[in-house]
Copies of this chain bind each other. A is one copy, B any other.
Amino acid sequence: MPDLRKDPIVGRWVIIAENRAKRPQDYTAAFQSRRKRPCPFCEGNEHLTPEEIVACRASGTERNREGWRIRVVANKYPALVLEGDIHQHQDGMYQAMHGVGAHEVIIESPRHLVTTSELAETELCEVLAVYRDRLAALRRDGRLAYGLVFKNVGAAAGASLEHLHSQLIATPVVPVSVQEEIAGSLAFYRDRGKCVYCAMIGQELAAPSRVVLTTPGFIAFEPFASRFPFETWVVPSRHASHYEDAGNAEIEELAGVMKQVVGRIETVLEQPAYNYVVHTAPFDADDLAHYHWHIEIMPRVTGVAGFEWGAGFHINPVSPEQAAALLREEAPGHHESETFLTREIG
Candidates B20, B92, B152, B316; contact of A16 at CB < 8 Å? B316
A158 touching B203 in the complex, CB below 8 Å, given contacts A21-B345, A24-B341, A313-B15 = no
**Contact residues in B for A91 (Cβ distance below 8 Å):** 224
Candidates B22, B206, B225; contact of A345 at CB < 8 Å? B22
Min CB distance A89 to B, Å, is 12
Whether the Cβ atoms of A9 and B196 lie closer than 8 Å is yes
The docked-state distance in angstroms from the alpha carbon of A175 to that of B316 is 15
Contact residues of A: prevailing secondary structure: mixed
A159 touching B319 in the complex, CB below 8 Å, given contacts A184-B9, A184-B10, A225-B7 = no
**Contact residues in B for A29 (Cβ distance below 8 Å):** 301-303
A319 touching B3 in the complex, CB below 8 Å, given contacts A11-B184, A305-B275, A310-B148 = yes
A92 touching B203 in the complex, CB below 8 Å, given contacts A305-B152, A306-B277, A310-B148 = yes
Question: Chain A: residues with CB nearer than 8 A to chain B?
Answer: 3, 5-22, 24, 26-29, 79, 91-94, 146, 148, 150-152, 155-159, 167, 169, 171, 175-178, 180-181, 184-185, 188, 196-197, 199-200, 203, 206-207, 223-227, 229, 275-279, 296, 298, 301-320, 322, 340-341, 344-345
Whether the Cβ atoms of B314 and A225 lie closer than 8 Å is no
Min CB distance A143 to B, Å, is 17
